[in-house]
């Protein structure tokens, strides 16, 4: 059981996904008026909005939905923490396998570390991991074709 608040749980889910369904609502003040915008991609929050921007999202659980509120800065801190944790795990990498489909399309990236293995099904997450591995000096990625 984790001890996350609903907002922290929602941000962890955002970190794991490429797109947000439903999108989050961003609250802005433009020219003295309150304005809302819908954002569908977590990366857009980090790229397009300052840290003090308020974000509203809906955390769906099995029996209910909770509206959660957090700031872009809180999400940015969580992303940094998760990336640092991933980088620490990648320092113990033994092998990396990129799985492609029969026509060469990306399927997944499997990373085998000393204590566990991690699989990434999202092409953008996999690309980010490959960049992290290259920054650590690991360049030997084997490609396997799935049937």
- Please report how the helices 72-90 and 6-16 are oriented relative to each other, as an axis angle in degrees rounded to 10: 60
Q: Please tell me the predicted confidence (pLDDT) of residue 19.
A: 61
Distance CA 27, CA 32 (A): 13
Q: Please tell me the predicted confidence (pLDDT) of residue 27.
A: 86
Distance CA 43, CA 94 (A): 29
Q: Please tell me the predicted confidence (pLDDT) of residue 22.
A: 73
Q: Where are the domains of the chain?
A: 6-81, 91-145
Distance CA 34, CA 20 (A): 23
61-70 long-range CB contacts below 8 Å, 24 or more apart? 66/6, 68/6, 68/7, 68/9, 68/10, 69/7, 70/7, 70/10, 70/11
Q: Please tell me the predicted confidence (pLDDT) of residue 110.
A: 92
Where the chain has pLDDT below 50, the residues are 1
Q: Please tell me the predicted confidence (pLDDT) of residue 2.
A: 61
Q: Please tell me the predicted confidence (pLDDT) of residue 111.
A: 92
Closest to 17 (Cα-Cα) out of 54, 45, 50, 37: 45
Q: Please tell me the predicted confidence (pLDDT) of residue 65.
A: 77
Q: Please tell me the predicted confidence (pLDDT) of residue 69.
A: 87
């Amino acid at each position: 059981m984790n001890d996350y608040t609903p907002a922290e749980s929602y941000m962890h889910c955002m970190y794991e996904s490429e797109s947000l369904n439903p999108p989050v609502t961003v609250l802005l003040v433009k020219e003295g008026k309150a304005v809302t915008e819908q954002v569908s991609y977590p990366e857009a929050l980090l790229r397009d909005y300052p840290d003090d921007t308020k974000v509203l999202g809906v955390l769906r659980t099995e029996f209910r939905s909770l509206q959660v509120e957090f700031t872009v800065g809180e999400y940015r801190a969580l992303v940094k923490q998760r990336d640092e944790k991933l980088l620490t795990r990648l320092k113990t990498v033994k092998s990396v396998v990129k799985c492609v489909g029969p026509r060469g399309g990306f399927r997944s990236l499997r990373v085998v570390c000393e204590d566990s293995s991690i699989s990434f099904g999202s092409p953008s997450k996999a690309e980010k991991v490959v960049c992290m591995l290259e920054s650590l000096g690991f360049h030997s990625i084997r490609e396997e074709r799935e049937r």
